[in-house]
């Protein structure tokens, strides 16, 4: 049976919800080096590399639909410690360990994956679980 459904080109956005927008911006900009593309009181969008976008929303600010002349963005929100991962090069693992330590960000755990990949886990200022992962984690990465 042929598979004629349209294909997904890639993951474009992921979202985190934070209580302190200023401290979240400082963390993702100054510690992780992500460049803000949009900054508003309810949303900061960061360039997450490889056409990926990290959306950081002020918790509770996006519960209602947002409608203007261009269309409607459905309401959304998140609670609790969410998880996301950034792709890094294997050769940069030690540099990331040192960089996080220099910024007072403790590594919560490390993982060696069966396919040869490695991950560093730490928390952002809102308690979200952030992962830096090398190739060899998934069959497609």
Q: pLDDT of 61-110, one tens digit each?
A: 999 999 999 999 999 999 999 999 999 999 999 999 999 999 999 999 99
pTM value is: 0.93
Q: pLDDT of 15-31, one tens digit each?
A: 999 999 999 999 999 99
State both tokens at 132. 């830096």
Q: Which domains does the chain have, with CATH numbers?
A: 9-63 (3.30.720.120), 81-141 (3.10.180.10)
29 CB contacts (<8 Å, ≥6 apart)?
A: 35, 36, 46
Cα separation, 67 vs 54, in Å, equals: 22
């Amino acid at each position: 049976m042929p598979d004629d459904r349209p294909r997904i080109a890639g993951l474009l956005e992921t979202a985190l919800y934070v209580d302190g927008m200023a401290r979240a911006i400082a963390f993702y900009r100054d510690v992780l080096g992500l460049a803000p593309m949009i900054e508003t009181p309810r949303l900061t969008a960061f360039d997450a590399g490889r056409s990926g976008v990290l959306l950081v929303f002020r918790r509770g600010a996006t519960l209602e639909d947002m409608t203007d002349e261009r269309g409607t963005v459905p309401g959304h929100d998140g609670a609790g410690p969410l998880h996301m991962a950034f792709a890094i090069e294997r050769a940069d693992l030690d540099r990331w360990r040192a960089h996080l330590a220099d910024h007072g960000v403790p590594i919560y755990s490390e993982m060696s994956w069966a396919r040869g990949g490695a991950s560093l886990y730490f928390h952002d200022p809102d308690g979200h679980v952030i992962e830096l992962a090398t190739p060899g984690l998934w069959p497609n990465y």
